[in-house]
Structure 1
Amino acid sequence: MKQVTLTNQVLYLLSISAGLVVANLYYNQPLLHQIAVTFKVSEAEVSNVALFTQLGYALGLLFIIPLGDKVSNKKILQLDFLIMVISLIAAGMANSVLILIISSFLVGFTSAIPQLFVPMAAQLSDDQNRGRAIGIVMSGLLIGILGSRVISGFVGEQFGWRVMFYAAALMMIILFIILKYKLPRIEPQFKGSYASLMKSLYHYFMSDASLRLATLRGGLAFAGLSAFWTTLVFLMQDSFGYGSAVTGAFGILGIVGALAATFVGKISSNISNNSVILVAVSLLIVSWGILLFSGNSLIGLMVGVLLVDLGLQSLHITNQKIIFSKNPEARNRVNTIYMVGFFIGGAFGTVAGAMAWGHFQWIGVSILGIALSVLILIVHILEKAKFLR
């Protein structure tokens, strides 16, 4: 591979780009109530828009990201951005929930490319600075996830939900132009066929127990967070009478947790991975306990959001540090396995969260979050006892 120096300029370009692209996945969440009103469908039906966006992302991770070990990053970006922009425009023009679901699936599929940036940062860093590099890129990515809800909530409230998709398409056009000229070209070393590339995913998954465990931990944690964000808009509407702008503003609180990525990455070299995981999972359990009793308390919801995002972020960074410490020749494929599991968990959380809300309202969603977090703790304990290896 052509050696490229990971300067701070390149590192922060990767971070900002990751955030801007991944935001496409979450613009629709604070807008679900407005979309349901527009098309006169139920909350359960409109949740399919968020579900298929996440499923598209998971499949994009599975089929696009492994190519980072075989095809130049510039070639991947060129086709990917074209489809992404067309899909965002189609989503804004959708005249039915079905069209919006199909468009959202393609938006999710093409918005997987930030996961090329994380292993790129890891690959171009030395062992001492790898945690910092991953943390900075992940900070940008997670700020994009959380900040997208703030932006879309405001835009939806002021201009309508369709405008958000048109604005996103314009941002992607501008970003592609910047990446075209500023992003270093990476030429990977894998020379086999695409079929052999995909088959190797199975090999890495089956041969690396730490990868399997990290994937399970990440998927369970993100399932809880997805259940939270999918149903928060319904809670805010039903219990407080607030619209998408206030719901999206909760993303500002989550950004505080996301900013911890850089800090966690810096200190992770001095603290054992098991210790960080234990603290992170404990934060998740406590945060869901607070949320359980905060169905009518904005302050409780605010504290819960801060803690749940901080816990997830700390767990996520540690998971990625673990998986990137092995198999340097296949970091994109290893990241693919981890992130596919991560977002399959997110898709599950979206469905389970909608079902829990439909049957038990906010109490059901909170109990679901607690159960998922406790399950992570059980996995962690069994891992330390070597029962899962």
Structure 2
Amino acid sequence: MIETDLAPDPERATGRRLTALLAATSAVTAANVYLSQPLTGAAAASFGVAPDALGAVPTATQLGYATGILLLVPAGDSHDRRRLILGLGAASALALAACALSPSVAWLIVSSFAVGLLSPVPQLVTPLAVALADRGAPGVGRGRIVGIVQAGLLTGVLASRAYAGAVGDLLGWRAVYACSCVLTLLLMLVLRRALPHVPSGSRSGQAAGGAGYRATLLSLPRLFASQPLIRRITLSGALVGVAFGAFWTALTFLLEKEYGFGPTGIGLFGLVAAASALASPHAGRLAERFGHRGALAALIGLVVVGWLLLLPGGGGLGWIVAGVVVLDVGVWGSQAASQTALFALDPAVHSRLNTLYFTFRFLGIALGSLAGTLAWADSGWSAVALVGVITTAAGLIVAVLPVGRRSGR
């Protein structure tokens, strides 16, 4: 249960409304990172350049996002997360407006990097949600809260491609950025009224201001080395991320070549994975009930099963649909279980733990996208599936093998 300073009566309905709002915040801000993917062709045509010239736009957004996670999310341990969320949300709305008004390709690339840089709000929202929950009942319901907020993030990621494609076809690619700018600003206005003030994990860091931020940033390598549990979960997340990135990159090639899908169809196909959004809250509870090692064994095992279902590739669309659902439930479920395990550690370092996990995760996804492209070009879908199975199996081994006495359950 979550209680707020604005509503002293700790009714369960209040906690549910605030949790839903935080999940919606993750959805909207995460969606902004993926808007450009269905729009590159239309944007290239409007600028009079080849579509390949716009390939740098989604890449710049992803690089900006990874940079933002690394440099901005640690500030959540030394500053008021509420102020950080509101500030980043308002700034990202300005970056979206810059994208909508871009007079050139170079401007759009730079603005897209800014959108990514200013969008790691979900990585601040999750520890804030856990901190709010702990004010009502310390340690109770963390897995459920993490799962619900992540379900919002996943919904935004999956819906963004379909939303961007539909609005882009109807009103043009610039309208997509303009609509997202307005939606983000409206969300920040709602959050400004609804979010309570919660002290950061490190009060001394908050008091120290910039010095606290520098200290938290410089402490990341030491934190990574401090416990086997942290190393196992972050490295396992990176390996599963490689498999995830390889799949979604190569799937586009497979659907185009074997089934004749266009950009709109490929974007809508992403909604097949929506089942994983429903599974995320249960994944957090699974980690609480059976321990993170048991939960990760089951969920990463599902990713392996998903890849086995995907092996036929062009042999039938039904195999792909089944494989996508199973694989995504495992990928996003294991992420929720991993965060639940990390948030059982010292609350003073929750933002930095999120930074470590998602930095490794996105590095893995980026590497997987490259590996999937190279595997497809060399030997087709069978090579992509081999990359997926091997990296997922490695992630499973890292996640479940005991390392040291203090590695956790």
**Match for residue 188 of structure 2?**
176
When Rg is computed on C-alpha atoms for both structures, the one with the higher figure is 2
The 2-side partners of 1:27 and 1:229 are apart by 16
The 2-side partners of 1:248 and 1:149 are apart by 5
**Match for residue 233 of structure 2?**
214
**Match for residue 347 of structure 2?**
328
Q: Give the AA of the match of 2:98.
A: A
The 2-side partners of 1:97 and 1:362 are apart by 33
Deviations 1:47-68 (A, max 9, x none): 4433322221111111111111
The 2-side partners of 1:241 and 1:105 are apart by 32
| Unaligned runs of at least 5 residues, structure 1 | none
Alignment of 1:39-118 (within 5 A): 40-41=49-50, 46-94=54-102, 96-118=104-126
Q: Give the AA of the match of 1:131.
A: G
State the Cα distance separating 1:136 from its structure 2 match: 1.0
The 1-side partners of 2:45 and 2:245 are apart by 22
Change (3 A) 1:157 1:355: farther
Alignment of 1:192-211 (within 5 A): 192=208, 193=211, 194-211=213-230
Change (3 A) 1:273 1:240: same
**Match for residue 297 of structure 2?**
278
Q: Quick one: which of 130, 135, 147 aligns to 2:147?
A: 135
Q: Give the AA of the match of 1:77.
A: I
| Secondary structure in structure 2 of the residue aligned to 1:249 | helix
State the Cα distance separating 1:309 from its structure 2 match: 0.8
Q: Quick one: which of 332, 336, 342 aligns to 1:317?
A: 336
Change (3 A) 1:203 1:23: same
Structure 1 contact 223–348 (Cα < 8 Å) conserved: yes
Are residue 351 (structure 1) and residue 370 (structure 2) matched? yes
Q: Give the AA of the match of 1:51.
A: T
Alignment of 1:231-246 (within 5 A): 231-246=250-265
**Match for residue 396 of structure 2?**
377
Structure 2 contact 86–191 (Cα < 8 Å) conserved: no
Q: Quick one: which of 156, 160, 177 aligns to 2:168?
A: 156
| Secondary structure in structure 1 of the residue aligned to 2:38 | helix
Normalization by structure 1: what TM-score? 0.90
Q: Give the AA of the match of 1:184.
A: P
Change (3 A) 1:269 1:82: closer
Structure 2 contact 77–351 (Cα < 8 Å) conserved: yes
Change (3 A) 1:364 1:162: farther
Deviations 1:106-137 (A, max 9, x none): 11111101111111122222212111111111
The 2-side partners of 1:228 and 1:161 are apart by 26
**Match for residue 19 of structure 2?**
11
Q: Quick one: which of 228, 253, 257 aligns to 2:247?
A: 228
The 2-side partners of 1:263 and 1:213 are apart by 22
Q: Give the AA of the match of 1:107.
A: V
The 2-side partners of 1:80 and 1:361 are apart by 41
Alignment of 1:249-260 (within 5 A): 249-260=268-279
Change (3 A) 1:357 1:339: same
Moved more, 282-291 or 360-369: 360-369
| Secondary structure in structure 2 of the residue aligned to 1:259 | helix
Structure 1 contact 14–137 (Cα < 8 Å) conserved: yes
The 2-side partners of 1:387 and 1:329 are apart by 23
Structure 2 contact 147–280 (Cα < 8 Å) conserved: yes
Change (3 A) 1:251 1:199: same
**Match for residue 30 of structure 2?**
22
The 2-side partners of 1:91 and 1:353 are apart by 29
State the Cα distance separating 1:36 from its structure 2 match: 6.0
Structure 2 contact 228–404 (Cα < 8 Å) conserved: no
**Match for residue 368 of structure 1?**
387
Q: Give the AA of the match of 1:297.
A: G
RMSD: 2.6
Change (3 A) 1:346 1:104: farther
Deviations 1:19-57 (A, max 9, x none): 1111111222334455566665466x6544333222211
Deviations 1:118-157 (A, max 9, x none): 1112222221211111111111111111121222233334
Normalization by structure 2: what TM-score? 0.86
Structure 2 contact 229–406 (Cα < 8 Å) conserved: no
Q: Give the AA of the match of 1:285.
A: V
The 2-side partners of 1:278 and 1:158 are apart by 44
Structure 2 contact 161–268 (Cα < 8 Å) conserved: yes
The 2-side partners of 1:37 and 1:211 are apart by 46
State the Cα distance separating 1:86 from its structure 2 match: 2.3
State the Cα distance separating 1:338 from its structure 2 match: 1.2
The 1-side partners of 2:363 and 2:257 are apart by 28
Change (3 A) 1:385 1:180: closer
Change (3 A) 1:354 1:161: farther
Moved more, 3-12 or 284-293: 3-12
Q: Give the AA of the match of 2:185.
A: I
Moved more, 246-255 or 350-359: 350-359
Change (3 A) 1:233 1:210: same
**Match for residue 120 of structure 1?**
128
Q: Give the AA of the match of 1:79.
A: G
